[in-house]
Structure 1
Amino acid sequence: MGLLGSIVKSAVTLNQKFNSKTQHSNKTQEEVLHELLKTSKDTAFGKYYGFQHILESKDMLQQFQENVPIHTYNKMNFWWEQQQKFRDITWPGKPEYFAKTSGTTGNKSKRIPVTHEFSESMRKVGLSLATELPNFPVPEEVFESHVLMLSSSSDLKSHQNGHLEGEISGINIHNFPDWYDYFYCPGKEIAAIDDWDERIKEIIKKAPEWNVGSIAGIPSWVLRMLQAIMKHHQLEYIQDIWPNFKVYASGGVAFETYRKDFEKISNKDLIIIDTYLASEGFFAYTANPNSMAMKLAINHGYFYEFIPFDHRGVDEMGEILENPEVFNLSQVNTSDEYILVVSTNAGAWRYIIGDTIKFTCLSPFEIKITGRTKFFLNVFGSQLSEEKLNNAIVDTANKLEVSINEYMVGAITENNLHNHQWILVTNNNIDQEKFANLLDDKLKSLNHNYEVARQKTIDEVRLKVISKEDYTKYLEHTNKKGGQVKIQKVMKDDTIKDFLNFFN
């Protein structure tokens, strides 16, 4: 065991002891909201919605919710477009960066402001995650190994309004100090390569020079990278080139559909740490080695609210009601599913990110992401969340002993028939009729509404299987290749028909 690894692990453990405090949700979140309002009271947004009056009121939270409406991206972007040109619009100053999202919900890329305070919050959440590492059986040699971060390109684009643009992971790496190169790879030069295939070629070439102990990135693209390295260097396991590789920090999409394939390429039981790192903030991370649930960051510049993802908050299509019920952190439970609403030091106010979450624990506050509000299949009354879709795919794949990483599903009406069309991405041979029947049965057991819909409104469950190679061609065709790109799982009628036509 290396001396450096021992020193680093001891320092992290000591820091954890000094910083392990009980979370006081009410007081902590009230302090966060007070600081956000106080800092922004003289901005255009703050004056328009009366932040000073909110701060002086007897019930700050109630007044905040009465004064400031819930904001979707389109509503918030009305202000953010001005923030690109002028100072002091939704947050003091003028952001140096805007993060472009990858557009998983089918919309064009969004632009989210990245302020200095926002970047500091993300850094502090990362440090909080580091203080939890002693909870995991992390070997000391991992602490003196490289961290490989598979990000989007760090070659940011200059905008005519004077700021730089890129995906949030690229912005973070762009801002890494030079001393990060001591433990970070692939390094800023390779990370700046915009073309995904060229970047992977350089990573494959340099791989033998690195001593990688941990990797961070979206599972789909990390898996592709590791498989490409193994194929090129003719490896049986990834540890044949990186013997210290033990820790994988996942994020962006649900990990479970990738678990089996990660197990196949590793001769060690990997430590999987899930993270909730979005363009809008770094909200949560796994702190318990016995669970994939994530600890909510409640003292890092984010104020949270929660809209119940049922009749109290959304209509039958999953759209937000005009006056939904809204809860704060002290009012949530572990039974309901919620739409996450955040106010942040990037100048986002009561902003709907588009994710649905569920609490698994209230002390400390731990959550799991259950899906996207737009990844909600209810065209024919099936009421299927992404969580249930994932569970059904994983369960069916396990029963048939096959590997399914990616899938898409949509409701299609053809010849007066209402069908659910599934597309599975795999190189395994599959009995499609058997898979469809097992999948159908599992969804019925998971959701009574789906079972009723299958009897009344859904005529057939259809399945199409495509290879991983053909799926990659589709990603190239749609310009969806890259380290932080996420593909929508639930597609609209016309989108999934275009998808099928591409392969036909």
Structure 2
Amino acid sequence: MAILGNIIKGVIDLKGTLTSDTNHVEAQRAVLKQLLEKAKDTQFGTHYRFSEILESDTMLSAFAKTVPYFDYNKINEAWWSKLHEGESDVTWPGAPSYFALSSGTTGKTSKRIPVTDDMISAIRESGIKQVFALHNFDLPADFFEKEIMMLGSSTDLEENNDHLEGEISGISASNIPFWFRSYYKPGEDIAKIDDWDARVQRIAERAKDWDIGALSGIPSWIELMLQKVIDHHNLENIHDIWPNLQVYTSGGVAFSPYEKSFNALMGKPVTVIDTYLASEGYVATQVRPETDAMQLNTDSGIYFEFVPFKPEYINKDGSLSQDAPALTLEQVERNQDYVLIMSTVSGAWRYLIGDTIEFTDIERAEIKITGRTKFFLNTVGSQLSVNKMDDAMQKLEEKFSTKIPEYTICAKRGEDDEFYHFWYIGSEAENLDNSEVAEALDGFLKAANKNYKVARSKALKGVKVKLINPSVFHEWSGANKKKGGQVKMERVMGEDKFKEWETFVTQN
């Protein structure tokens, strides 16, 4: 009998029964007030008159009118760069203990995003919320005695003056509570291995020593790790070595493009729970099984605003026009794409995180990630968002009985000087015809997006597809950034980057 598991499950169930529903609108008002109060005497708070905003009868709108939008480059040049020169009390009291390094999906150069002790606490609070939400998933008691494989970036953080630097997943893993360490795999020694291939090799070698009940990590890298374990032990599927694996916590990207390839590695179904941990904070987590949408963490150190995702509000570099309207949680609508704006306990203010979301349930503050501001393809009016592209990939999987975990696209002129969408699609199938897939893809996108259909009848000449092995996408990420961690494949590329990509594909 799972004695410890029954105790833990009992505590979680009791907590779930006693916890009342959060009033997310009120929680957000309280968070903004707390942020302004704590930062009012910082350089940023003084400059933007936080004390006056706090005295306003319309605090939320006064905040939006007074403080401009910031992307990383803008806030780093004006404010965060001072932190690297030894200044303190810049955008948040004191100096940050960590900087999260993030090249994201758009380039080699790492951003250095401050992570304060207050943010570490906020991430931990949101993590505890996620644990208690397991009450809704009705997992068996013995699940709570199993180990958890967290595959993030290295926890061997780099010292830089008076702070540590690394990816957010490595920073978070290095701060796990002491009581959780006996559950945490691959353990501190392996987690510190910086080289991703070497770390995964050690995981494969040790896999038989562990009783894994849950996985956590970016889908593409989790899949590669699972395949390595399967190959190393000559298994049919991962349940042959981890028979008690019951939960996968995805994060950072939509899981749907990876669903088919992920399930192919399983011996039986597992519960998939989506989460949304970014370098700037723990944004949202799925709290109930009836939906794959995630609930915004509205009471844990982040104040959210939402800009309608329309071409007239987005500059060519993906930044926001300063006259773009920002809505509060009280003002949003369902099924509308929004640019996500965050103000946080790490001293990010009205910060463009780069993601777009839509609300599926406003009262519950539940969202889905729909794409990236820089991955919105609007050449010649096609208006394709990443979620529409993901949907099309799933339809191709069904039509051609294949798995498509990765893809990328560029809109550019062909040899005839006409505009085309050039797609590279990852599939191991050997009998697929590029032209046949292109025709089917074009048809799916026309049916799903009226703007695309109109563009195809005018300036968008056609679709060109090249099928390649999915491993090429992983090697591209490894060559341009770093394998594992928070690294994600860029879904849409500009022409200069696409030239580099095509050269890389030819050479590999």
Q: TM-score range by the shorter chain?
A: over 0.9
Q: Note the C-alpha offset of 1:318.
A: 5.7
Q: Note the C-alpha offset of 1:301.
A: 1.2
Segment drifting more, 256-265 vs 359-368: 256-265
Query: How far, CA to CA, are the matches of 2:471 and 2:96 in structure 1?
Result: 40
Matched residue, 2:329: 329
Q: Note the C-alpha offset of 1:179.
A: 4.0
Secondary structure in 2 matching 1:491: coil
What RMSD in Å do the two structures reach over aligned CA positions? 1.6
Amino acid at match of 2:42: T
Matched residue, 1:338: 338
User: Percent same amino acid among aligned pairs?
Assistant: 44
Query: How far, CA to CA, are the matches of 2:16 and 2:90 in structure 1?
Result: 38
Matched residue, 1:497: 499
Q: Note the C-alpha offset of 1:290.
A: 1.9
Q: Note the C-alpha offset of 1:316.
A: 8.2
- Do 1:97 and 1:113's aligned partners in 2 also have CA atoms closer than 8 Å? yes
Q: Note the C-alpha offset of 1:297.
A: 1.1
Matched residue, 2:110: 109
Matched residue, 1:417: 418
Matched residue, 2:130: 129
Query: How far, CA to CA, are the matches of 1:352 and 1:86 in structure 2?
Result: 24
Matched residue, 1:27: 26
In structure 2, the gaps of 5 or more residues are: none
- Do 1:248 and 1:270's aligned partners in 2 also have CA atoms closer than 8 Å? yes
Aligned 1:73-472 pairs, distance under 5 A? 73-77=72-76, 78-84=78-84, 85-106=86-107, 108-159=109-160, 161-310=161-310, 313-314=313-314, 319-415=319-415, 416-429=417-430, 430-472=432-474
Query: How far, CA to CA, are the matches of 2:4 and 2:177 in structure 1?
Result: 20
- Do 2:168 and 2:279's aligned partners in 1 also have CA atoms closer than 8 Å? yes
| Residue number among 473, 476, 483 corresponding to 1:481 in the alignment | 483
Query: How far, CA to CA, are the matches of 1:273 and 1:428 in structure 2?
Result: 29
Residues 177 and 295 (structure 1), Cα distance of their counterparts in 2 relative to 1, 3 Å cut = closer
Secondary structure in 1 matching 2:356: strand
Segment drifting more, 187-196 vs 425-434: 425-434
- Do 1:411 and 1:420's aligned partners in 2 also have CA atoms closer than 8 Å? yes
Q: Note the C-alpha offset of 1:203.
A: 0.3
- Do 1:380 and 1:411's aligned partners in 2 also have CA atoms closer than 8 Å? no
Q: Note the C-alpha offset of 1:246.
A: 0.5
Encode CA deviations 1:451-473: one digit per residue, 9 max, x unaligned: 11112112231111111344444
Encode CA deviations 1:90-123: one digit per residue, 9 max, x unaligned: 0001111000113312362111111111111100
Amino acid at match of 1:478: N
Encode CA deviations 1:17-60: one digit per residue, 9 max, x unaligned: 222x2232332211111111000111000000001111112221
Q: Note the C-alpha offset of 1:317.
A: 8.1
Encode CA deviations 1:205-251: one digit per residue, 9 max, x unaligned: 11011110000000000011001101111111211111110100001
Matched residue, 1:63: 62
Residues 72 and 314 (structure 1), Cα distance of their counterparts in 2 relative to 1, 3 Å cut = same
Query: How far, CA to CA, are the matches of 1:374 and 1:230 in structure 2?
Result: 36
Query: How far, CA to CA, are the matches of 1:435 and 1:482 in structure 2?
Result: 30
- Do 2:428 and 2:469's aligned partners in 1 also have CA atoms closer than 8 Å? yes
Amino acid at match of 2:418: L
- Do 1:222 and 1:483's aligned partners in 2 also have CA atoms closer than 8 Å? no
Encode CA deviations 1:163-211: one digit per residue, 9 max, x unaligned: 1110001011122344433100001111110101100110011101111
Secondary structure in 1 matching 2:130: helix
Secondary structure in 2 matching 1:123: helix
Query: How far, CA to CA, are the matches of 1:383 and 1:318 in structure 2?
Result: 14
- Do 1:106 and 1:488's aligned partners in 2 also have CA atoms closer than 8 Å? no
- Do 2:405 and 2:470's aligned partners in 1 also have CA atoms closer than 8 Å? no
Segment drifting more, 165-174 vs 452-461: 452-461
- Do 2:96 and 2:116's aligned partners in 1 also have CA atoms closer than 8 Å? yes
- Do 2:69 and 2:320's aligned partners in 1 also have CA atoms closer than 8 Å? no
Give me the TM-score of the superposition, normalised by structure 2: 0.96
Secondary structure in 2 matching 1:459: strand
Query: How far, CA to CA, are the matches of 1:211 and 1:94 in structure 2?
Result: 40
Give me the TM-score of the superposition, normalised by structure 1: 0.96
Secondary structure in 1 matching 2:30: helix
Query: How far, CA to CA, are the matches of 1:450 and 1:471 in structure 2?
Result: 26
- Do 1:87 and 1:93's aligned partners in 2 also have CA atoms closer than 8 Å? yes
- Do 1:312 and 1:325's aligned partners in 2 also have CA atoms closer than 8 Å? no
Query: How far, CA to CA, are the matches of 1:171 and 1:355 in structure 2?
Result: 22
Q: Note the C-alpha offset of 1:368.
A: 0.3
Segment drifting more, 453-462 vs 192-201: 453-462
Amino acid at match of 2:436: K
How many residue pairs end up in the alignment? 502
Secondary structure in 2 matching 1:155: coil
Amino acid at match of 2:234: Q
Runs of 4+ in 1 over 4 A off after TM superposition: 315-319
Segment drifting more, 309-318 vs 452-461: 309-318
Amino acid at match of 2:246: K
Query: How far, CA to CA, are the matches of 1:328 and 1:120 in structure 2?
Result: 25
Query: How far, CA to CA, are the matches of 2:41 and 2:273 in structure 1?
Result: 40
- Do 1:102 and 1:486's aligned partners in 2 also have CA atoms closer than 8 Å? no
